[in-house]
Chain A
Amino acid sequence: MAAEPLDDYIDAVAKALALPVEEAWRPAVRANLEVSLRLARLVDEFPLPDETEPASIYSA
C-alpha cells in the first residue's frame, strides 16, 4: 500500500505515460503535483456557464 494518498496515482499515470519516476524523485514530484492540484481545484470550484469556450486558441 502506498505511503501517501497520491502515490498510487503517480504510479499509475507514470506507467500509462511511460514516464520514469525514480524513488528519489517521488517526494518532489508529489509535492509539485499537490501544488498543481491545489491550484487546479481553485479553478475547478469556480462556476462557469456550460457554453464557456476554452481560450486555447487565443486572441488578446
Chain B
Amino acid sequence: MSEEKKEVLLIDDEPGFHELFRYLLEPLGIAILSAHDGLAGLKVSSQKEYAIIFLDVHMPNMPGTEVLKKIKEMRPLQRVVLLSSDSDPADELEEFSKKMGVDAFLEKPFHPDRVLELVQKIMGVPAR
C-alpha cells in the first residue's frame, strides 16, 4: 500500500467528527482529509482515489447518497464507508448501499473501535 493511499477522506457536515477521526486515526499514521458538505466532498473525492472515503448520508447541498453515486461512477473501486444515523430507514439504505458497492456501514453514534476495525479491515493498518 502506497503512502498516498494512507489518506482517508471524511465527508461530513459535523466538525466534531473530523476532530474525532483525526484523534482516532492520526496516531496510526493516517492522514484525514476533510470535506464539510456534499458538493465539497464530491470535488475533493474526484481528485484522486483515497484509502477510504467516510461519507455521511445527511448533508447540506448534496445528500451522501447522491455523492456516492457520482463517486462510484468516477471510481468504481473506491472503498466507501457510509455514515448513517440510526434514525434512517435502515433497510432501504442497506439495499442501496449493496447495489452501490459500499464496503460498510457505520451507524451514528458509533463506538470508536468500530472505526478502527473498519480501517484495519479495509486498509490493513493495525488498529493499535
- The answer to whether A and B belong to the same complex is no
